[in-house]
Amino acid sequence: METGNKTEVTEFVLLGLSQTHEVQLFLFFLFLLFYVIVLPGNILIILTVRKEPQLESPMYFFLAHLAFLDICYCSITPPKMLADFFSQRKTISSRSCIAQLFFLHFLGGAEIFLLIAMAFDRYVAICKPLHYATLMRKMVCWILVVAAWAGGFTHSLIQVAFVVHLPFCGPNELDNFFCDVTQVIKLACTNTYVLEFIMFVNSGLVILICFILLLLSYGVLLIRLKTGISKGKRKAVSTCITHIIIVFVMFGPAIYIYCRPFCSLPLDKVVAVFHTVVFPLMNPMIYTLRNREILGAMKQLLARCCL
């Protein structure tokens, strides 16, 4: 569409992960195999938490929601990425690009706030054990989950509100396999210095602050648990360490992407793959593999289904 002497961009060209046909085929089967193995595992976690009475505690309630969020998050970019491996020209319309950007930050933000809710749950369980049943009632858990979704929605709405009004008049190539704010705003036909700073505050600074707060909170909890070697304390320590691993897995790539100037670096695509495809589905699996109680419940559920 012509606007003066410039052409308004109606679609973006995705350069993808590789231009080599053989490499694309290898990546397609690699990611497809990963999904076939790991995605059912996340669904099984949700079903196990819902079906098994011994997993009715808030900790497993939040874990089921984490698995659900990760399944949704991994349904945004990978399907198109897998389809694009067989496309000669990988394109995405400007509206679909904005929608992809919105849902990435919506679900990603909700997951960050959910991790904060999980940290609060562990704080109450360890520091206020006598008041745990009162403070972490079912209604409170649902309020925390809804607040996480609302926080992610607000964060994403701010991102999209600024991006959607940007003028794009070419070039229209994104050196990635999906749309994200760090690359999209670089294609705008206007000075984006102030906008980049706003995006950094809304994404990078928020992510960094949440990361530091989560590490400090779990550090305090581990210090509280260092005295004594009772079975209950060992289990609590193991749970906290699992949460710390998930925090690093979740925040590491996000900090790399959003806590620096919006410029391209050689590792960007590799980090993006782990951030949007691999790590989200692995988060609940990491938690499950380190938790004997939920592993036992999953085996019971599978045994009943087989019988």
pLDDT digits (tens, 9 = 90+) for 134-193: 899 999 999 999 999 999 999 999 989 888 888 888 788 888 888 888 888 888 888 888
Q: Where are the beta strands (DSSP E) in the chain?
A: 2-3, 6-7, 11-14, 91-93, 173-174
The rounded distance, in Å, linking the Cα atoms of 101 and 118 is 26
Residue 213, amino acid: L
Identify the pLDDT of residue 1. Answer: 41
11-302: CATH number: 1.20.1070.10
Q: Which tens digits make up the pLDDT trace of 185-223?
A: 888 888 888 888 888 888 889 999 999 999 999 998 888
- CA-closest candidate to residue 110, choices 76, 138, 161, 82: 76
Question: Across the chain, which distance is largest between two alpha carbons, in Å?
Answer: 74
